[in-house]
Structures are given as structure tokens and as C-alpha cells.
Structure 1
């Protein structure tokens, strides 16, 4: 992005204007933002200044558009970026945005791969980059095993801080990739794999800038001089924390978390199962052990190709470009020494406790014919890590990026779309979902890469659709495949727990019980808290009154052609219509 100093030389027609904002107003807003945060912390963007694809990667993500774009590259395109350094600066920025009606799109670090990255849902929004400068660990308590963080603290950064500052007996819990924000992941209701893996459940206390610029603290933090902000979640009165997750009701600038004390022992394990049809029995067994707390964490049940993709691209295994069939997958499973399904889990605590757990765990899973097990061993010098050794680190809270291998399964220019439906933790539902996704993937020409994660009572089905973003035909197939799956899942009573920018409106409409009561309630909250509609319009399908029903919603592909006239009618003359960006 060009720095703010170049703003005067950029022609009006090349600026990315938000709805209801003139070029003059956008220029004034950007210049005023520079006075708040400093000119070095504001950037302006044009279509011509988008980061080239070959310059973007996990550690160098574009902040103005989706790195793994599924529609046209400039569909979700920011008009600029501002990087605040404090809660006070965030408050001033929000007040300024209200004055100019400039929409803001807050991000922590923006590494939510497969869901849109840092790109704003509403074209022309200014990205509020909280992670660039607000990246401090503010407090750690050994006594209470808690911490207080700013949004820019990644899992790597938190782990390093604890190790370097005398807190080695405190563990963190991280998801598959460690470069993301601890705060951002919890706010998107992400998860990890230790007993503290339910990240939002392990948060305690927030500081929030509301859409008017006012600042509040939740829980015990609303008591002046509170000494329990990170130790008791609820405080007094209504509990608002949940409304700031996956929402556009406030900007979280500080967030507390509970940390896991060293359990006094740890052992990871792998069970492999040889038949594709073993999935229901595996899930049934995990549910019983999980609810009974014999298994203390969320184990993952991964299919063969997900493990294979971690090792290398599809071309390492086959010359076929078509979706792989059972016999081919069996060959790959034998080659990399995993099962058609592989369960990765861990035990935590002193050895006598683990021994008791293990006897029950082993006896349960070995009832499935053909099951095998092994424990993680140290990596020998010069040895290539196995997936078990990789998962061993993740399961004990050591952040890493091993799973980035998924991206390159079908192309060195690989991109990722996530599909994440929830179901009961039953073998019937797991198999039903698996067959549902497998059918659609074969129909649209993709290999199934997926994993099932058993939580407290539910089953997360995490599906990774990898595609070549430089191939318009492949992008189109990927897009329509996920659209179809959202409808397939809803018809069976399954809903996704988060989704890509492209599908937020479709998914919100699927949660339609009570004549859409949930969305109506969310819209009422939005209009009350954000009367000018400046904070993350369209996030999770929630649009402010000012923009609602003007054609900014993205409907299913089959509906778009008939709505193109309506959309064009409601578009300001300085902005291309949404339908022109889709080209589907």
C-alpha cells in the first residue's frame, strides 16, 4: 500500500470508496487518522497497489485483500489501513470514523487462513490493524496462571515471552498454526488441543472500544481497582462477553486468559485404523471417553490425505489430477504408515495417572479390528518428522507451522477454503457428514482433506478445500462447492461455526429458526450499538440499517443473476457492482 504522503497524488477515480463516502471525505478522514497515529501508521490503497500473489504468504499476508481470493481479487478490497498503538488511539479512530461514515474492519494479525485473512467484507472499508503495534503481553500471574494480552500477541510470541521471563511452568494452548493472534482466535471461537483447548472458554475479561468510541471493560474489570479481572469471568449483571465474538459490536483491545500449569507429565499417542468404514466406531469410542474425562483434550481424527498433504504435494504420490479413489488412498496410507483414519491424542499428568488412562484408552480403541498404536519418539538427527511428532508438539502447546503443507496439495500456488460444520459427537453423524462432503468434493473435482475434532459434547468437522487461485475455473468450482455444502449441511441440521467472507450472508440466512429471530436480534443490537454502521459492516451476515438491503449482501450463485439489476440500482456511481466482481 502507498504511504499516506502519496495520497494527494492519487487520482480520485483510483481510490476505493466506501458506500456513501466521497473521495474528498475519504481523503480528509485518512489525513485526520494520520494525525492520531502518525503518518507512518496510515496507508492508502488502490486497485493497482494490491500485493502481487507471489509476494504474499503466511508471514507476509496482504492486509488489503484476501490472499486466497475465491471471487475476483479486488472484491473484498480495503481503501486503506490504520495501525493504532493504544486503546486511546482506537477510541479516537472510531470517533473519527463516525464523523466521516468511513467503515472500519478490525483485525488482530489477520492470519485466519481459509476464512478471508485481513480483507474487509465491505469493499472500501479501512482495515484497523490492531496487531501491528498493539502486541504486548501486559501481565502474567504465576499464582493464578493467567495473562493479559493485546491483539497482536501471537502464539509464538506468548510462548517465547513465557520461556524468556521465568514462566516456563505455564503452558499455552495453540491451534494448528502458531502465527495467529491469541486474542483473535478466541474471538473467532477457535480451538486448540490441550485440556485448555476451548479458547473462548479460557478467556477472562476484555477491554472493548464500542462503535461510538466509548471504552468498557467486561466482567470484574468494570469494578474500579478490581483485583480479579483475570480470575472470575462473569462480574455482576448481564454477561456481555459473548456478543463481542464473531461480531461487529466492539473492538477488543485487551483480553485476559487462563494458562495451563505444567501437568507434571505428558505423553502423546497415535491410533491408526485401516478401514474407511471405521469412522463411526472411532467417534463413538472417543465421545464416551471424552465425556467421561478419560480423554482430557480434544483428539483429532484425520483422514489419510490430510496427513499426506502435511508431508508433501499430491504429485509426490501420484500423477493423477483427479480426485483420488479408495485404492489410491490405501496405497498412500501404506506409504506414509498411517491409517485411513488416524487418531492423535495425548495424556496429561503424573505417570500413575497416565497409566490408568492408557489402559482404558488402549482397551477401547483396540476393539476396532486392525487398530494399531504408537507413541511419539524424539526426532533423530537428520530424520524427517512424522505427523505424530508434529502433533506431539501441538498437543503440548508448542506453536508451529507444520500444517502449512496442506496449502500446496494440488498446486504450488495453493489456496485454502475452510468448511467447518458442527454435529453431535456420534458415529452416525460423523459418517453422514463425511459422505456428504465426499460426494460434493468428487462432484466438483477435489480431494477430501479433513479432520474430526471431538469437543466437550460436539463434533467439529474441519474440511480443507485446496485450490489454485490463479485458475478462474477452479476458483468457480471451489466457490460453488462450498455454497452447495452449506445448503446440504443446513438441510440435515448441521451448521458451520465460522465461514469465509463469501458465505457470511448465506450462512446467517441458514440460521433461520423462528422466522429469522436470531438475525433480527443481531440487527437490533447492531443498530443500537452502532447507529452509524461504521464497524465491520456485514461481519457474520450482520449489516447496519444504513447499508441493509442495498445489495451488499452476497447471495447464492443461483440467485445472483436475478438480483444483479437490484444491486446495480443501489450502487453509488463511484463503485462497481458486486455482481461485476463475482463473474461466476
Structure 2
């Protein structure tokens, strides 16, 4: 299982932890291994050969690629599948599988060091019709991790050898990074340069790739929380091997690539977000000015039904920028779960934990009994903050029983302080502690989007709760409130070593996706095995959007080698062969072969 004390440092590895978070990382790892009963697989495995390619041809193809990249940079995936944990995650499969371990698994992993080497891999894949699946760092946990959608694909791990911060501009408040740059690494680099006037925006955990998170339209928790909206400029290797730069980057010698995202002509950047139309090897990002002060605050609300009036209060304050950051409204069960202790400490029965049980625990905690917590932050000099905070306090307290929590009563390990750091652009390592809620904890997310309206919040809350009760799963909802929309993020935490628990999580998600679509709500992001179903809900005008995406796919990727199935977009040679996964698919992710291309006919 590996040593509990050994945690990779950022100074030693691109995917490591900063020195100041080392003790937190050690404690987090220890908690995970305390509840892990799944045995490490030690049996030797044969590599998975992708469908449509003969084994001997595939092996020869890998040998040829190794001649171009170096033998150390082409690894056949014939070793035991080790799940690891957040800071020591696999790049061969999903460390939090919702299907069998051997289902979404790579045949090999390759490590390019430059855009030119990415080109070589893409040209090689076209020559041999090998499906490839690029990852930045593989930490897209809850959505598939590093796993490829097509079993036997060759994973291109961009992070290991392409982890340079190419530029940090203290005048323009911008940066240019490669795929292996984590939020930890970018924050540490800015601090090391003494650029205290600049912040970065980070998600709940800082170990993920800046590029990877942005391309998947992830969010952070400062006013710059919409990461895709804050990017400027891409360098992309297309599925046929050509390289383009978008926006101002298409103009040789320009100096505005990271300051103006649009350039001239059609805006093409969106084609490479959540798509399989190219591999992003460089990306520009805007950075936030230090606001000159900040102050976190938290409010507790007593009842489930308080959610509806709370959202009505939040909406105008958020649009008017009185509520400034992407804040969270979290359910009380998460207050307990994020302590990192197993559910059995509080309740050992079957089915969802009873309300009276978790409320008794809440009464013993510093925050006291509640149903919802709002975590927010105000920015600027003291007099500006005071003006905004007084408005917020007056509005929130229109809800009977609403309480502002005094931070001085909260101990150092209270989750509030993690949200305080994150909303100030300081990476942390606390959020995933709730995965320890069950043995062999894994999680998968349900992530629908809606307007910031009370009626929508209650519809989604009741929809999710009903399905969780039906499948016997604890319901852990949180609303992330953007400027004019909100994401409901429901994390289903399950025992990945229990096939029945995996199936219950999968079935519950599939029902919620259909339930939400009937009410007009669509997911903004989803797990690999759910992508076909989610894509199919965006079916206005006889699936006009998917037909458009398929036309683009066939034009840009004529041999169908680039991440087939990503976001439900299948190349022509896979279509109509049973690769799409829906409610009736069960645990099978593969279809019945692929159409041959010229390179696979010899």
C-alpha cells in the first residue's frame, strides 16, 4: 500500500505537495488508509489491446514510438492497477472506479516533453489507428480521473514532462503555463517571485492542472471563479498533427496573447473545451489583483426549506457584486463528513443516516445545529468590506433563525478556515476528507446547472434527495453560486470495492440525470461513463448540437483517434457499434469493434 509518511513534495515532483501542506497531506493519507480494506492487486496483467488492432501490430507500433520518444517515455500498462490516493494517483485508470477496475483502463502511457513530441504521438496514432487519450495530470476525480473512455487507449500524460510555467507577467496580471502546472505550483511560483499584488483562483483542491481544470470548465472561489472565462490563448495540436495558436497567438510576434482572448475572425477556443478536437499544450490565464484586504464570513440556516428564500436573497446580491465570490451553500451532513471520520462513528445502520443522528452530532460542534451553511468572503479595504457585510447581514437575517457565525469561536481545524484560505487564493488540502465517510471511499458527482432561484434550488434538492433515499445513499449536496447561475454539486460517496455500492451509485446518477433533464436542468460536467447519457439530454431540434459536433469531429479527426467518446462525441468508425453507454449498458463500456481504416487493414 505504500508508506503513510512518504508524500511527494512539489520540489521533487510536478504533482507533489508544497512543503507547508506536507503535514496535512500526511494526515489525509493516513485517514484514507485507515479505512481502506481493498487489497492492492499484485497479479501480473496483460496489456489491453484496443479493439480494431492486432496485438503484434500494436506491440510493434509501441516499439516504434519508443524509438522516437525514448524507451523510458513509453510504458506498457501490464502492471497491477494501484489506486493510490490524491497525491499519488494513477495515470492508467480511474482511482475511483464506478465500473470494474479493468473496464476503463489504458494499454500504455506515453510522456511527451514538448509540443513537437505531442505532434509525433498524434501522427503515430494516425498511422496505426490507435486511440489516444490526453490527460494533463489525471486528477479529474469524481469525473473519471486519468481513465480513457475507450478501453485500451494509449494515455498521453502531458503533465510529467511538460510542467513549465512559461511566463508570469506582473504588469498585465497574466501567466502562460503547460499542462503539468498545478494550482499548487503556480501559487508557489508567484510567491517565490514576490508578486504579492497577484492572486490565483483555485478549486477546492490545489493539486489539479490549471489547464486541465480550465478546459473542463471547473470553478474556483474568488471573484475570478469562472476559470474558462479567465483563460486567454491556447496552443493546440489537432488530431491530424497540425499545431495552431488561437486568438492573438496566431499573429507572429504579438505581445497580447494573454491579454486579449479573441484575436480576429471566428473565436475557436471553445472547440477545445470539454472536447476531443485537439490537445492543448499551452494556455494563458489571467490573474487577480490583490484586493487590499479580505474577510470570510459564514451564516447558518435552520431548516431545509430555508434554501428557497435564501436563494432569492442571494441572487440580486450576487448579480450586484455585493456577494463577490463563487460561494458555497452546503448541507449540514457535509459539516460532519468533512471531518474525515467514517460514517460508522455516528451510525452503523443501513440506508441514509437518519436526520436525528446527524443533528445530535451537530449540537456538539462549535457551529451548532443547522441545515445549511453559507461560506462567503468580502474583499477590499475595511470600510468597503463593512459596507457590503452590513447589507449581507441585514438581508440574510430576514430568514428566521439565521445566524452569523463568529470565526473566533472556531478551532483551527474547522472547515471554515479551509474555505477562508481558498477564497483568498491560497491552495489547501482538506476537501476530499469526506471521502473517508465509507470504507474504500470513492466519489462521483452529479452537477446540474440552474438559475439562482429558490424554486430551482428546491426542485433540485428534492429530486436528489428522493433518488438518494431510493438507492440508500447519503445525500451530500452543495450549491456553488456563480454570477447568474448556480451549480448543484452532489457527491455520491461509495465503497469502490463493493460492486453493489458501485451499481447503486451508477443507477442513482442515471436516474437523476433523466429527472433533471425533464425539469430543464443539464449537467455542466460528468463522469466518463455518463457522458453519452448527458450529451443525449442536450437534444433540441433532433440532436442538432450533437450532429454539429460529429461533423466537426469527422473533419478534424478523420481517422477517429483522438479521445473517442469524450463528451459523448464518437468518431465515425465507432458510431452505431454499441459504444454509447446508457441505462441499459450495465458495467460494459465497450462496443462491438470499430471500422477498419487503411492503416489497420494490413
Q: Determine if the TM-score, normalized by the shorter chain, exceeds 0.5.
A: yes
**What is the DSSP-based 3-state SS (H/G/I as helix, E as strand, rest coil) of the residue aligned with 1:201?**
helix
- 2:52·2:595 contact (CA, 8 Å) conserved in 1? no
Among candidates 387, 392, 404, match of residue 356 of structure 1: 387
Q: Which stretches in structure 1 are left out of the alignment for 5+ residues?
A: 1-12, 573-584
- 2:112 equivalent to 1:81: no
Q: Pairwise mapping of residues 243-258 of structure 1 onto structure 2 (< 5 A)?
A: 243-258=271-286
Paired residues in the alignment total 549
Among candidates 113, 138, 158, match of residue 166 of structure 2: 138
Distance (whole Å) between structure 2 residues aligned to residue 316 and residue 326 of structure 1: 15
Q: Name the counterpart of 1:464.
A: 491
Alpha-carbon spacing, 1:571–1:471, altered in 2? closer, same or farther (3 Å): farther
Q: Name the counterpart of 1:424.
A: 451
Q: Name the counterpart of 2:82.
A: 52
Q: Pairwise mapping of residues 4-83 of structure 1 onto structure 2 (< 5 A)?
A: 14-46=46-78, 49-53=79-83, 56-83=84-111
Distance (whole Å) between structure 1 residues aligned to residue 149 and residue 120 of structure 2: 23
Alpha-carbon spacing, 1:570–1:221, altered in 2? closer, same or farther (3 Å): closer
Distance (whole Å) between structure 2 residues aligned to residue 570 and residue 207 of structure 1: 30
- 2:346·2:358 contact (CA, 8 Å) conserved in 1? no
Alpha-carbon spacing, 1:167–1:32, altered in 2? closer, same or farther (3 Å): farther
TM-score calculated relative to the size of structure 2: 0.88
- 2:400 equivalent to 1:369: yes
After TM superposition, give the deviation of residue 24 of structure 1 in Å.
2.1
Among candidates 470, 475, 492, match of residue 443 of structure 1: 470
Among candidates 345, 349, 366, match of residue 316 of structure 1: 345
- 2:167·2:176 contact (CA, 8 Å) conserved in 1? yes
Q: Name the counterpart of 1:326.
A: 355
After TM superposition, give the deviation of residue 499 of structure 1 in Å.
0.6
**What is the DSSP-based 3-state SS (H/G/I as helix, E as strand, rest coil) of the residue aligned with 2:579?**
coil
- 2:331 equivalent to 1:292: no
- 2:107·2:152 contact (CA, 8 Å) conserved in 1? yes
After TM superposition, give the deviation of residue 313 of structure 1 in Å.
2.4
Q: Pairwise mapping of residues 459-538 of structure 1 onto structure 2 (< 5 A)?
A: 459-538=486-565
- 1:418·1:464 contact (CA, 8 Å) conserved in 2? yes
Distance (whole Å) between structure 2 residues aligned to residue 168 and residue 110 of structure 1: 30
After TM superposition, give the deviation of residue 385 of structure 1 in Å.
1.1
After TM superposition, give the deviation of residue 80 of structure 1 in Å.
0.2
Q: Name the counterpart of 1:10.
A: none
Alpha-carbon spacing, 1:83–1:350, altered in 2? closer, same or farther (3 Å): same
**What is the DSSP-based 3-state SS (H/G/I as helix, E as strand, rest coil) of the residue aligned with 2:229?**
coil
- 2:307·2:372 contact (CA, 8 Å) conserved in 1? yes
After TM superposition, give the deviation of residue 120 of structure 1 in Å.
0.2
- 2:449·2:487 contact (CA, 8 Å) conserved in 1? yes
Q: Name the counterpart of 1:8.
A: none
Q: Pairwise mapping of residues 377-456 of structure 1 onto structure 2 (< 5 A)?
A: 377=408, 384-411=412-439, 413-456=440-483
Q: Which stretches in structure 2 are left out of the alignment for 5+ residues?
A: 1-44, 597-602
After TM superposition, give the deviation of residue 567 of structure 1 in Å.
4.9
Q: Name the counterpart of 1:553.
A: 580
After TM superposition, give the deviation of residue 333 of structure 1 in Å.
2.6
- 1:304·1:332 contact (CA, 8 Å) conserved in 2? no
Distance (whole Å) between structure 1 residues aligned to residue 77 and residue 456 of structure 2: 46
After TM superposition, give the deviation of residue 247 of structure 1 in Å.
0.2
Distance (whole Å) between structure 2 residues aligned to residue 118 and residue 37 of structure 1: 21
Q: Name the counterpart of 1:581.
A: none
- 2:376 equivalent to 1:345: yes
Q: Name the counterpart of 1:164.
A: 192
Deviations 1:105-142 (A, max 9, x none): 00001111111100000011000000111111100111
After TM superposition, give the deviation of residue 569 of structure 1 in Å.
7.8
Q: Name the counterpart of 1:236.
A: 264
Distance (whole Å) between structure 1 residues aligned to residue 304 and residue 360 of structure 2: 13
Distance (whole Å) between structure 1 residues aligned to residue 408 and residue 66 of structure 2: 53
- 2:112·2:158 contact (CA, 8 Å) conserved in 1? yes
Alpha-carbon spacing, 1:15–1:290, altered in 2? closer, same or farther (3 Å): same
Deviations 1:411-468 (A, max 9, x none): 2x10101110111110001011001000100110111111001111111000000000
Distance (whole Å) between structure 1 residues aligned to residue 452 and residue 202 of structure 2: 22
- 1:50·1:64 contact (CA, 8 Å) conserved in 2? no
- 2:309 equivalent to 1:277: no
Distance (whole Å) between structure 2 residues aligned to residue 158 and residue 478 of structure 1: 35
TM-score calculated relative to the size of structure 1: 0.91
Distance (whole Å) between structure 1 residues aligned to residue 110 and residue 46 of structure 2: 19
Alpha-carbon spacing, 1:387–1:24, altered in 2? closer, same or farther (3 Å): same
Distance (whole Å) between structure 2 residues aligned to residue 62 and residue 571 of structure 1: 31
- C-alpha root-mean-square deviation of aligned residues, in Å? 1.9
Distance (whole Å) between structure 2 residues aligned to residue 570 and residue 92 of structure 1: 24
Among candidates 139, 143, 165, match of residue 115 of structure 1: 143
- 2:580·2:591 contact (CA, 8 Å) conserved in 1? no
